[in-house]
Amino acid sequence: MLAFDQGFFAGKWVSVARRFGLDVRVEPWDPRRGVAAGAVEDILRADAKAGAEARIRAVLIVHNETSTGVTTDVRAIGEAMRASGHPALLMVDAVSSLAAMELRHDAWGIDVTVSGSQKGLMLPPGLAFVAAGPRALAARASARLPRAYWDWSDQLDFNARGFFPYTPATNLLFGLAEALEMLREEGLAHVFARHRRFAEATRAAVRAWGLETVAVRPEEASSAVTAVLTPEGHDADALRSVALERFEMSLGTGLGPWKGRVFRIGHLGHFNEPMLMGTLSCIEMALAVAGVPHRRGGVRAAMDHLERTLEA
């Protein structure tokens, strides 16, 4: 399996794969950048050339790395993989991107997409989703790793008859029907645009504060979550404590190497202007109270962006 050093959650998949005895190649990568399609293509072409049989069976890409707020252009990677002619499967973690950013399982040539209920689908945690294309289903037939609950076969058999092989989390299924109806009513294009606009306003605030996001390229910055670096010597978790204790607001913690250096702002799902501005205002106050060096004016900058980008 080929993976990239995208961040905490990409690392989790590597850990899962290794626990099952898979040989995982983790390509060093700047976690502040999305995975480049060219890098994937180069590695696959080299792998294909190396011998009679390609060794890489799957490429794992996290669409929206929740720990960094950096997204990867999955469409470009799908194209690069097809261009390379390499048979590896494309497996995508869409846990925090589904219903927040565009993702096209079939059109982009994804073989397996995995997601969950508790992010863009606006539900409590408790449901996971897997989409598997024909190549993935074929691979399943010859797969030899031991598996029981995670085996797709039981689900596929029962789903075809309108049932589940195991007792499902029934109440979440009712919630899912309602969530999908809400997304349909708003329209996915509008949902994506709304998230993008809120993310832009958030980054406008961060820039105005004189702080940096982990994502270095705006076009790679997540529509779902923004990870912000605190200045050297200023503990992001102390800031988070101030926000929680003083302003009743829970910010995401830094994960893995970002622990203490990063706080994360979620802006996905059922989210609107009052929630966004309430969030940014409390962060600006928390920065002041926690003594984190910053310029005022982030809230103002976010409002400017929102005012400028109203729909006609």
**Binding region for a copy of itself (CB under 8 A):** 15-16, 19-21, 116, 118, 124-126, 145-151, 167-172, 246-249, 272-282, 284-285, 288-289, 296, 299-300, 303, 306-307, 310
What H or E segment, with its residue span, contains residue 158? helix 152-160
Between 104 and 296, whose beta carbon lies closer to a copy of itself?
296
CB of 47 to a copy of itself, least distance (A): 24
Between 142 and 272, whose beta carbon lies closer to a copy of itself?
272
Which residue from 304, 293, 281 is spatially nearest to 197, judged by alpha carbons?
Answer: 304
Between 85 and 168, whose beta carbon lies closer to a copy of itself?
168
Q: 65 forms bridges with which residues in the sheet?
A: 70
CB of 180 to a copy of itself, least distance (A): 19
Between 77 and 243, whose beta carbon lies closer to a copy of itself?
243
CB of 310 to a copy of itself, least distance (A): 6
Report the side by side order of strands in the sheet with 112-116.
25-27, 2-4, 58-62, 89-93, 112-116, 128-132
182-217: b (≥16 Cβ within 10 Å) or e: ebeeeeeeebbebbbbbbbbbbbbbebbebbbbbee
Between 46 and 288, whose beta carbon lies closer to a copy of itself?
288
CB of 250 to a copy of itself, least distance (A): 10
Which residue from 152, 120, 111, 51 is spatially nearest to 269, judged by alpha carbons?
Answer: 120
CB of 255 to a copy of itself, least distance (A): 12
Between 38 and 163, whose beta carbon lies closer to a copy of itself?
163
CB of 150 to a copy of itself, least distance (A): 8
CB of 174 to a copy of itself, least distance (A): 10
Distant-in-sequence, close-in-space partners of 132: CB < 8 Å, separation ≥ 6: 111, 112, 140, 152
Between 134 and 142, whose beta carbon lies closer to a copy of itself?
142
DSSP-derived secondary structure letter, 301: H
Which residue from 224, 299, 266 is spatially nearest to 307, judged by alpha carbons?
Answer: 299
Distant-in-sequence, close-in-space partners of 273: CB < 8 Å, separation ≥ 6: 306
Pairing type for strands 262-266 and 225-229 reads: antiparallel
